[in-house]
Amino acid sequence: MVIGNSLARGRECKLQITNYQLQSPACMPSLTLRVLFWELCLEDVMAGLVDVHAHLIPGVDDGCLTLDDSLACGRAFVKAGYVRACCTPHIWPQFPANVARNIRRWVGELQAAYDEAGIALKLTAGGEINLESNWPALRLLGREEIVSYGFLGKYVLFDFWAEEFPDYLVPGIEYLQGLGFTLIMAHPERLKVFHRNVDLIERVEKMGVLLQCNSWCLMDPVGTPNRDVSERLLKDRRYFLLGTDTHSSMAAHSSKGMKSRLAGIERARELAGAGYVEELTVGNAIKVVDE
Ligand SMILES: [Fe+2]
């Protein structure tokens, strides 16, 4: 079953539950329909999480190094309730092979390995474009060569690293928006420029850029900039997506192991409520990978 349909139907079901509760369960037309109704509801209540930021393709960037590592991440995702993950390898000039054509093939191969290993995680292709190193060269690319979620040509995930508000940021964003993409800025809470002046994030938001939070930042020690900024943006409901940015199953290899990345999702629920987190990890995430 297509998850998107399931979710849409889930909303319908929830609405119907309310209506029926207001009236009476007996108002349902027949026993068969009642059973079907509850089955649909149960399935929809159990709609799984979708990770929108993961470096699962082995050996193509600083993410998973081996297939075994990637399979271990997949198993951890499933155990934590995920049903889908988007592979978002770094799009940097130093990784010249990370282009749409290859990413699509690698994700297909990884999906086959997951299927063979019995890991029930549906993978989608995507990428994380580093604006700093790809600007202005990306203006030479055709629109179809710019890596978007699911290669659907709608949502583009980008990052940059800066201590001051960089000159390329506004023109880079405007250029990609001019091509019709909706831009999503990865982990603003990690950027020193925003640690120094958190109000600058608003300048980017006012351009129509959506924000994606890295879950592990919510697990950083109290009082550290990543944690302060992520908590503030989350409590103010300014994020559109909450991802893990998984790089490895091994904490020793990755700066943050999967444990804190997944624990961060639970922490987000405590801070901002399960409903908002479901929006970020299911509703909006499905929009991004499917629309
Ligand atoms: Fe990333």
- What one-character-per-residue DSSP string does 170-210 give? HHHHHHHHHTTPEEEEE-GGG-HHHHH-TTHHHHHHTTT-E
Distances 102 to 89, 95, 106, 147 between C-alpha atoms, Å: 11, 12, 6, 11
State in Å: Cα 53 to ligand 1 middle: 6
Q: 257 falls in which pLDDT band (50, 70, 90)?
A: confident
Residue of higher predicted confidence among 38 and 60: 60
Residue 164 — left, alpha, or beta (φ > 0 → left; ψ -120 to 50 → alpha)?
Answer: beta
d(CA 124, CA 191): 27
Render pLDDT for 123-171 as a digit per residue (tens, 0 to 9).
999 999 999 999 999 999 999 999 999 999 999 999 999 999 999 999 9
State in Å: Cα 128 to ligand 1 middle: 6
State in Å: Cα 63 to ligand 1 middle: 8
d(CA 265, CA 283): 15
State in Å: Cα 126 to ligand 1 middle: 11
State in Å: Cα 243 to ligand 1 middle: 9
**Which CATH class name applies to 48-290?**
alpha beta
SS3 content of the chain, % helix, strand, coil (to 5): 55, 15, 35
The yes-or-no verdict on residue 29 having pLDDT over 90 is: no
State in Å: Cα 272 to ligand 1 middle: 23
d(CA 74, CA 262): 12
d(CA 209, CA 118): 37
State in Å: Cα 214 to ligand 1 middle: 9
Angle at 220 between CA 218 and CA 222, to 5 degrees: 95
State in Å: Cα 36 to ligand 1 middle: 41
Q: 122 falls in which pLDDT band (50, 70, 90)?
A: very high
Residue of higher predicted confidence among 155 and 27: 155
Render pLDDT for 196-234 as a digit per residue (tens, 0 to 9).
999 999 999 999 999 999 999 999 999 999 999 999 999
Length of the chain: 291
Closest CA to 85 of 102, 67, 110: 110
State in Å: Cα 88 to ligand 1 middle: 7
Instruction: Name the residue ranges covered by the structural domains of the chain.
Output: 1-47, 48-290
Q: Which residues surround ligand 1, an ion (CB under 5 A)?
A: 128, 245
